[in-house]
Amino acid sequence: MSANIEMKYEKLVELYEVLDSTSKRLEKTSLIADFLSMVGEKDPNILSIITLFILGRIFPTWSEEELGIGSKLLMKAIALVVGVKPEEVEDQMRDIGDIGLAAQELFSRKVQSTLFRRDLTIEKIHQNLVKIANITGDKSQYKKLEILRELLSSASPMEAKYITRTVIEELRVGVGEGTMKDAVSLAFKVPKETVERAHMLTNDLGLVAVVAKEQGLEGLQKLTLEPGKPVKPMLAQLSPNYIASIQEMGWAFCETKYDGIRVQIHRERDEINIFTRRLENISQALPEIVEYIKKAIKPSDFIVEGEIIVTQDGKPISFQYILQRVRRKYEIEKMREKIPLTMYLFDVLYYNQPVLDEPFKDRRELLEKIVQIIPIKLELSTQVKVTPENPEKAEKLFNESIDEGHEGIMIKDPYAPYTPGIRGKKMLKWKATPETLDLVVVGGTYGTGKRAHFIGSFLLALRDEDNKLKNLAHVATGLDDKTLQELSEISEPLIVRKIGRQVEMIPSIIMEVAFSEIVKSPEYESGYSLRFPVVKRIRNDLNIEDIDTVERVESIYQTMKLIS
């Protein structure tokens, strides 16, 4: 291996530009693979950093580290470096619709060069961003601004374009995790399925790339689940017919489907951490759940999974109450009394060793052995065994679940392993309410009359296989004036362009949307649209990586055709 040479950031920027110039996934994969291979030979110490940077990230998805830099602070830093007012940066961003392109344009106009300007290296940028993430306390915003200003002062216009995009994690070069996994496989000559599994178990593509380079196939095969590092949840798809689904499985476990916040609970030594679907650590906000877990499961390293709901008079109440608890940072004990929580556990992924490859029936049996029920506080999900000969047991559980205020039932293949992040036929859902999609707001239209100051209709998008956003529908139903007011206040800082009453927005707000039907439509980029969409709730517990995909919409479209 050759001696390490610090790699200039401009080399990575050149790759970004080429990636942005092609829409062909195979070409992107080949370009990234060549770059990773080159980095692995010249400077293996930054391989993990490079892998995450190409995905538009600074830290792994499960990391609690974040920059804490909003668009206002970023625009102020740009303004200081190029010598204009922050309002001019904001105007430029609104005109162009992209903070990166706005920065590039403003930097290209900059007359005065920074004295003693030094070439930026990838390590330098990463070190400064990590330093920003670690700043807390008094004057933290000022300190963050100074580090960001110093970094941008040495940037060329093209480098400024991608530094600013990286800071807000909106790289826009059309590279998703699927493409990156294929590139790692190609670069280091390891099987795709091994890379897929390694990523599934670690949720850290930077680590996977490093191990693939340094240890190859054997090293990747040793990577496994570890308490403390959350993985993406196994996902369910809609059952076209619960009887047919049970027949296809041979027999099934049917469980009540709870409408709450799905969590993964990790115990490592004496530390218990609770992670949401977006892999956010919410342990501090839920002290009673930590207490229940300590009482219910004997000290051991473990990972269990379940749903947290709020109940009142024995019935679940609005999802928004749970969000109040999850997002709470102060007066937690007071809120604990006001909004009591119930935990329902339904799976175990790790107990002294990984068990996610074991059949679900064995994992459930293990869960029942290790959990001591605490009535009303911590329980196991209600479950029945259903065979094709007695499908009425599933119907009975479904009706009981609906009567109790829950969503419906889950249908689980008893022989299925746990597959993080995968949505397949091994776990299905049968709901009384319409199917919903989690979509991100990318634009909207101001209302008229008394709603003229509100964004009254929102343009929603989902992800394609290359992680690019494709719009799907407009929604204007399901939001009262109070919610519209709140959404408009949240939306204003996200607006990057206004054309008449229409606006374009930085993707950030996620909505859960119900609909009556999916139809094919050339009007929207996704090729589909929704009939009678209604906003069910704002999903503050999800991030943009959790929104639904074109592939899922296609699957629901085909399933609905079967049902009808």
Query: If pLDDT is split at 50, 70 and 90, which confidence band does 562 have?
Result: low
Query: If pLDDT is split at 50, 70 and 90, which confidence band does 138 have?
Result: confident
What's the whole-model pTM score? 0.80
CA 509 from chain centre, in angstroms, equals 12
All residues at 6 or more sequence positions from 557 whose CB lies less than 8 Å from its CB, including other chains: 518, 520, 528
C-beta of residue 542 within 8 angstroms of C-beta of residue 478: no
All residues at 6 or more sequence positions from 286 whose CB lies less than 8 Å from its CB, including other chains: 274, 308, 325, 326, 341
**501-532 pLDDT, tens per residue?**
888 888 889 999 989 889 999 999 999 999 88
Helix or strand or coil: residue 530?
strand
CA atoms of 318 and 302, how far apart (whole Å)? 30
- What one-character DSSP code corresponds to residue 358? S
Q: Residue 398's pLDDT is what?
A: 94
Q: Residue 355's pLDDT is what?
A: 97
- Of residues 197 and 557, which shows the higher confidence score? 197
CA atoms of 280 and 326, how far apart (whole Å)? 10
Q: Residue 170's pLDDT is what?
A: 85
- What one-character DSSP code corresponds to residue 281? B
**328-338 pLDDT, tens per residue?**
666 777 777 77
In a domain, 228, yes or no: no
Please give the average per-residue pLDDT across 422-445, as a whole number: 89
Query: If pLDDT is split at 50, 70 and 90, which confidence band does 540 have?
Result: confident
Q: Residue 2's pLDDT is what?
A: 43
Helix or strand or coil: residue 460?
strand
**16-45 pLDDT, tens per residue?**
999 999 988 999 999 999 999 999 998 888
Whether residue 424 is found in the same domain as residue 441 = no
CATH code at position 496: 2.40.50.140
Task: Tell me how many domains the chain contains.
Answer: 4
Whole-number mean pLDDT of the chain?
89
Whether residue 16 is found in the same domain as residue 76 = no
Range of the domain at 180: 9-56+174-222
Residue in the structure block whose two tokens are 């719009």: 471
Whether residue 202 is found in the same domain as residue 268 = no
Query: If pLDDT is split at 50, 70 and 90, which confidence band does 230 have?
Result: very high
Tell me which of 86-90, 185-189, 218-222, 253-257 is least confident.
86-90
Q: Residue 1's pLDDT is what?
A: 39
CA atoms of 140 and 159, how far apart (whole Å)? 25
Which of 207, 222, 237 is where one domain is finished? Answer: 222
In a domain, 303, yes or no: yes
Whether residue 201 is found in the same domain as residue 329 = no
C-beta of residue 441 within 8 angstroms of C-beta of residue 538: no
Q: Which two tokens stand for residue 383?
A: 């479950």
Which of 406, 431, 456 is where one domain is finished? Answer: 431
Which of 385, 414, 431 is where one domain is finished? Answer: 431
Tell me which of 20-34, 111-125, 366-380, 434-448 is least confident.
111-125
Reply yes or no on whether the pLDDT at 3 is more than 50: no
Q: Which of 224, 212, 223 is nearest to 44 (CA)?
A: 212
Please give the average per-residue pLDDT across 151-162, as a whole number: 94
Please give the average per-residue pLDDT across 385-401, as a whole number: 95
Q: Residue 39's pLDDT is what?
A: 94
In a domain, 32, yes or no: yes
Considering only the C-alpha atoms of the chain, give the largest distance between any 2 of them, rounded to a whole number of Å. Answer: 81
Q: Residue 126's pLDDT is what?
A: 95
Q: Which of 194, 203, 175, 177 is nearest to 31 (CA)?
A: 175
Query: If pLDDT is split at 50, 70 and 90, which confidence band does 561 have?
Result: confident
Reply yes or no on whether the pLDDT at 563 is more than 70: no
Q: Which two tokens stand for residue 84?
A: 């204009």
Handedness of CA 52, 57, 58, 61 (dihedral sign): negative
Whether residue 75 is found in the same domain as residue 33 = no
Whether residue 294 is found in the same domain as residue 373 = yes
CA atoms of 440 and 486, how far apart (whole Å)? 16
- What one-character DSSP code corresponds to residue 101? H
Tell me which of 187-196, 378-387, 424-433, 489-498 is least confident.
489-498
In a domain, 62, yes or no: no
Please give the average per-residue pLDDT across 388-394, as a whole number: 94
Whether residue 335 is found in the same domain as residue 465 = no
Whether residue 530 is found in the same domain as residue 447 = yes
**260-272 pLDDT, tens per residue?**
899 999 999 999 9
Reply yes or no on whether the pLDDT at 283 is more than 80: yes
Phi-psi region of 284 (alpha: psi -120 to 50; beta: other; left: phi over 0): alpha
Reply yes or no on whether the pLDDT at 434 is more than 80: no
In a domain, 238, yes or no: no
Q: Which two tokens stand for residue 531?
A: 């009939």
Q: Active-site residues: which are they?
A: 257
Whether residue 141 is found in the same domain as residue 40 = no
CATH code at position 92: 1.10.3260.10
Please give the average per-residue pLDDT across 424-448, as a whole number: 88
Whether residue 179 is found in the same domain as residue 41 = yes
In a domain, 229, yes or no: no
In a domain, 63, yes or no: no
Whether residue 140 is found in the same domain as residue 31 = no
C-beta of residue 133 within 8 angstroms of C-beta of residue 67: yes
Q: Residue 506's pLDDT is what?
A: 86
**Within 10 Å of residue 434's Cβ, how many Cβ atoms?**
14
In a domain, 403, yes or no: yes
Q: Residue 66's pLDDT is what?
A: 86
Q: Residue 216's pLDDT is what?
A: 96
Q: Residue 112's pLDDT is what?
A: 52
Whether residue 367 is found in the same domain as residue 303 = yes
3-state secondary structure 117-183: CCCCEHHHHHHHHHHHHCCCCCCHHHHHHHHHHHHHHCCCHHHHHHHHHHHCCCCCCCCCHHHHHHH
**59-89 pLDDT, tens per residue?**
988 888 888 888 889 999 999 999 999 889 9
CATH code at position 269: 3.30.470.30
**Within 10 Å of residue 110's Cβ, how many Cβ atoms?**
14
